[in-house]
């Protein structure tokens, strides 16, 4: 089974390709109430994006919630991770492994897949150029074929693009991101909004709802940026930060 989290579709695409190669069913992590860990599982593969050189809190929380029966089953099968990132993972894989270890579980193998960047909430951060975006996407199928082969072989390989200053980025910046990375009240719509409802539909945690005919953001945002990137008229903004930022949403299947 593949359990994936995805905001703007990169990790969903990676999980789908991997699922097809390995003949594994894919489950979307926010639907966790419908995910059952049973003893028929041969292996478990987590697919998720890198957030601020760490693991998205929603993924760590899922591991935290595994009960003792889930863990008893999972101790008997290999667990793998595949993370998608714009550039680099730093020590996010170690963070994931540590969280598994806290539950008495081990990580068998893990890989990163470089995909188009979707992070736009800080000055200086923007989506990739169209050229870089398509160059990155072109390489994804062969990378997933490689990873699928390794998973079939039960490989213990750990192959990530970590980048420079990994310890500093994961150790210092990730905790700041967790604390200050998102202020849900900064999300708002602009007069360009055509009330299409796409931002409501795309939110993985149902944090966007229609009130008074326009979208409204609650406090449960997990900073996946899907609502910003999916808007067909660039009418979703985060304070003033996203005004001139580009949009990206992976629609590959």
Ligand X SMILES: Cc1cc2nc3c(=O)[nH]c(=O)nc-3n(C[C@H](O)[C@H](O)[C@H](O)COP(=O)(O)O)c2cc1C
118 binds ligand X (CB under 6 A): yes
Three-point CA angle 178, 184, 188, nearest 5°: 145
Could you give the string, one character per residue 56-85, with x where binding to ligand X holds by CB under 6 A and - elsewhere?
----------------------------xx
Among 90, 199, 237, 249, which residue interacts with ligand SF4 (rule: CB under 6 A)? Answer: 199
Instruction: Write the CB contacts of 185 (distance below 8 Å, at least 6 apart in sequence).
Output: 217, 219
Partner from ligand X, ligand SF4, none binding residue 227, C-beta < 5-8 Å depending on class: ligand SF4
Q: Contact, 126 vs 90, CB < 8 A?
A: no
The residue (of 36 and 183) whose beta carbon lies closer to ligand SF4 is 183
Q: Which of 253, 252, 209, 251 is nearest to 227 (CA)?
A: 209
Partner from ligand SF4, ligand X, none binding residue 63, C-beta < 5-8 Å depending on class: none
53 binds ligand X (CB under 6 A): yes
Q: How far is residue 242's CA from residue 141's CA, in Å, rounded to a whole number?
A: 31
The SS3 of residue 134 is helix
CB of 24 to ligand SF4, least distance (A): 26
235 binds ligand SF4 (CB under 6 A): yes
Partner from ligand X, ligand SF4, none binding residue 50, C-beta < 5-8 Å depending on class: ligand X
Cα–Cα distance list, 219 to 71, 166, 187, 207, 222 (Å)? 31, 30, 10, 7, 9
Partner from ligand SF4, ligand X, none binding residue 62, C-beta < 5-8 Å depending on class: none
Paired tokens of 12: 């969903």
Binding site residues, ligand X, CB under 6 A: 6-12, 49-53, 84-88, 115-119, 223-225, 250
């Amino acid at each position: 089974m593949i359990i994936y989290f995805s905001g703007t579709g990169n990790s969903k695409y990676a999980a789908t390709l991997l699922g097809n190669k390995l003949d594994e069913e894919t489950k979307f992590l926010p639907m966790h109430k419908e995910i059952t860990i049973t003893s028929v599982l041969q292996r478990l593969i987590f697919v998720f994006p890198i957030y601020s050189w760490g693991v998205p809190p929603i993924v760590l929380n899922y591991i935290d919630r595994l009960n003792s029966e889930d863990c008893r089953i999972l101790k008997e099968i290999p667990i793998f991770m595949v993370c998608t990132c714009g550039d680099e993972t730093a020590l996010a894989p170690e963070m994931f492994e540590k969280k598994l270890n806290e539950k008495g579980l081990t990580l068998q193998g893990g890989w990163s897949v470089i995909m188009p960047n979707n992070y736009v909430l800080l000055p200086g951060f923007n989506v990739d150029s169209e050229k870089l975006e398509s160059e990155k996407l072109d390489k994804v199928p062969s990378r997933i074929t490689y990873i699928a082969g390794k998973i079939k072989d039960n490989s213990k390989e750990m192959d990530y693009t970590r980048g420079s200053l990994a310890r500093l980025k994961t150790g210092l910046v990730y905790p700041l991101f967790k604390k200050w990375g998102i202020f849900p009240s900064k999300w708002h719509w602009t007069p360009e909004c055509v009330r299409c409802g796409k931002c409501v539909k795309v939110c993985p945690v149902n944090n966007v709802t229609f009130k008074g005919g326009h979208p409204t953001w609650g406090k449960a945002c997990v900073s996946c940026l899907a609502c910003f990137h999916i808007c067909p008229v660039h009418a979703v903004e985060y304070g003033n930060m996203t005004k001139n930022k580009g949009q990206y949403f992976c629609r590959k299947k």
